[in-house]
A and B are shown apart, each in its own frame.
Chain A
Amino acid sequence: MIRFLLRRLAISVLVALSVSIVAFALLRMSGDLAQELAGERATAEQVEAVRVANGLDRPLPVQYLDWAQRALRGDLGVSLFSGEPAASLIAARLPVTATLALTSMALALALAVPLGVIAATRPNSWIDRVSLMLAVFGQAIPNFWFGLILMLVFGVYLRWTPISGSDTLAHFVLPSVTLGLSAMPAIMRMTRSGMIDALDADYVRTARAKGLLMPAVLVRHALRNAVLPVVSITAVQLGALLGGSVVVESVFALNGIGQLAYQSIQRLDFPVVQAIVLMVSFIYIVLTFLSDIANARLDPRIRLA
């Protein structure tokens, strides 16, 4: 277990390192930073002065180490647009996006796992067909359209939920349903196919030969094996959700990471864009590491290998 974790940790660190190098390189290739910092009307001398003042005249590896050190301390540069630190811009938006991501994922899991299990126990039954249809629906329907429909029906017509903003948890209901439905299909398919394999496995027949009742057979024996790939795909999906959704955040006027990324791109606010890219990458790295740990905990063949 310890060796497995150390190996995974080493891989995570390597990936993080490469991501940071790429992020740094992209930032440098996006133009002459000294020119941009100094402003368009600056003279050549002024630009040079800015370059020296900001250390941009030093060799790239030195600049990278310097930049990486600052990034590690949470200094991700300042916005070219507002002059605010990129880190605080992100920190201000993250709670909204994180809340939305977690509620969406909770909803997706609550729907996908039971449906996948039931569908697998009765392949080609009506419930299997209905859940497959739901999955196709979830994948095919554009989020903006589904979000708008939900807003019209439940917000405008029935007035059950608020339609925009992020003041209360109730504000997150409709956006979570929208995003949850799009995150659900992959998880459901994975659960269903994993369960179909598991239910066909010899150890499930053994479990039944022991006299175990269906709930124990399904959960303790089949699902307990089928859940391994589900954990991995859930981590990937959660990473995507934590990167923010421009569409859903726009439709429901949520001030999250997605909106911030969109605005920053429009304003060519490179430091902020880079900071977001860096943050999203690190979220993926951390989630992958966590899902590896979860899989090792769940599967003794990994843990004791």
Chain B
Amino acid sequence: MTMPLLEVEGLRVTIDGPAGTLRAVDGVGFSVGRGETLCLVGESGCGKSLTALAAMRLLPRAARMTADRLAFDGLDLTSLPERALADLRGRRMAMIFQDPMTALNPVHTVGDQLVEVFDRHRLGSRAEGRDRAVRLLERTGVRPAAERMGQYPHQLSGGLRQRVMIAMALMGDPELLIADEPTTALDVTIQAQILRLLRELQREFALGLLLITHNLGIVARVADRVAVMYAGRVVETGTPSEVLGDPRHPYTRGLLSCLPGAGRGPRGSRLGAIPGVVPSLVGPVDGCLFRNRCGEAEADCATTAAEAPRTLAPGRIVRCLKAGVTA
């Protein structure tokens, strides 16, 4: 069996606050294979961004991280020194962010910010770097590319800036691209364009893609596999047809049932509201964290065993006591 590009097991991220320690990410596990697209889905605040940042080892200072395994192409990211991590970032693993309006540096030209990646990783001469930058801008639809090279971020629209971010992420010809809600901040029409672009580029560059999203429509269109997150945990994984067609976790079913046009096109299919609130993740927690919002909850759901992962089939994991029963 080939080694996955990115392996995450038992990832925990905690943040110390005045009220106590927040368990923002609590035992998350998944893997992304070469050329594979994994969608990480979940409500706002469930720990998706922190998970992605942990994989890049770019967590904010306030956050602390532990993991049973966090590896990129077999390299243990938890023990790699900062310098070696920096050599990976931008070169073999790249990341794009949710808000293209603030992700680019306002005082440097688009071209300089792209070529910087090339220079940093000594991928060739300046001229070659500029060539590659122009080609990638062209490819990502930032045209006329040669002219855009000399422009500053504030001269570009949000959609163009996100395209620049994507081009920049590809400068080092990475194997893994982490995209944290890359379309959430954009207009609906532009969202679809950017998503199509990402999918094309994923094939063209044979990228392993970890795509974080609110949008279940996206999942159906691009994912090879899906991981659904709730309150800092992955509660269900599987292929899109398994997860969307035969959801085993009540939370996943809740997400699907409160889609505006359930099961139909990508438009507007953001996660709707499931009644109830996420329990506080500050301090110790026990049992299934969804039980207070779950219509099927029983007394057993409060036990530690309730949130143990159950493997239904290879790659099909559900954290629910009744996962096997509902089949």
Contact = CB atoms under 8 A, between A and B. Distances in A.
A301 B106 contact: yes
A301 B58 contact: no
Interface string A198-211: 00011101111111
Given A202-B99, A205-B97, A301-B154, A211 B106 contact: no
B88 interface: yes
A210 B117 contact: yes
A202 B102 contact: yes
Most interface-central of B86, B87, B94 (chain A CB within 10 A) = B86
Interface string B120-152: 110000000000000000000000000000001
A299 to B, nearest CB: 6
Contacts of B94: 209-210
Contacts of B172: 210-211
Contact of A208 (B89, B106, B116): B89
Contacts of A92: none
Given A209-B58, A209-B90, A203 B120 contact: no
Contact of B86 (A201, A203, A211, A304): A211
B70 interface: no
A298 B107 CA distance: 7
Contact of A224 (B83, B86, B107, B168): B107
B95 A209 contact: yes
B89 A210 contact: yes
A98 B290 CA distance: 71
Interface size class of chain B, counting residues whose CB lies under 8 Å from the partner chain: 20 to 34
Nearest to A299: B107
Contacts of A220: 108, 116
Contact of A304 (B88, B155, B165): B155
Nearest to A201: B102
Contacts of B86: 208, 211-213
B308 interface: no
Nearest to A198: B105
A213 to B, nearest CB: 6
Most interface-central of B87, B91, B107, B121 (chain A CB within 10 A) = B107
Interface string B165-201: 1001000100000000000000000000000000000
Contacts of A221: 105, 108
Contacts of A202: 97, 99, 102-103
Contact of A210 (B90, B99, B102, B152): B90
Contact of B58 (A205, A216, A298): A205
B223 interface: no
A176 B82 CA distance: 41
B56 interface: yes
B87 A203 contact: no
A103 B4 CA distance: 60
A286 to B, nearest CB: 25
Interface in A262-305: 298-301, 304
A299 B152 CA distance: 10
Given A205-B103, A304-B154, 17 more contacts: A203-B106, A206-B165, A207-B105, A208-B58, A208-B89, A209-B56, A209-B94, A209-B97, A210-B168, A211-B87, A211-B117, A212-B116, A213-B83, A221-B108, A224-B105, A300-B107, A304-B155
18 contacts: A202-B97, A202-B99, A203-B106, A205-B58, A206-B105, A206-B165, A208-B58, A208-B86, A210-B89, A211-B117, A211-B121, A216-B120, A224-B105, A224-B107, A299-B106, A300-B152, A301-B154, A304-B155
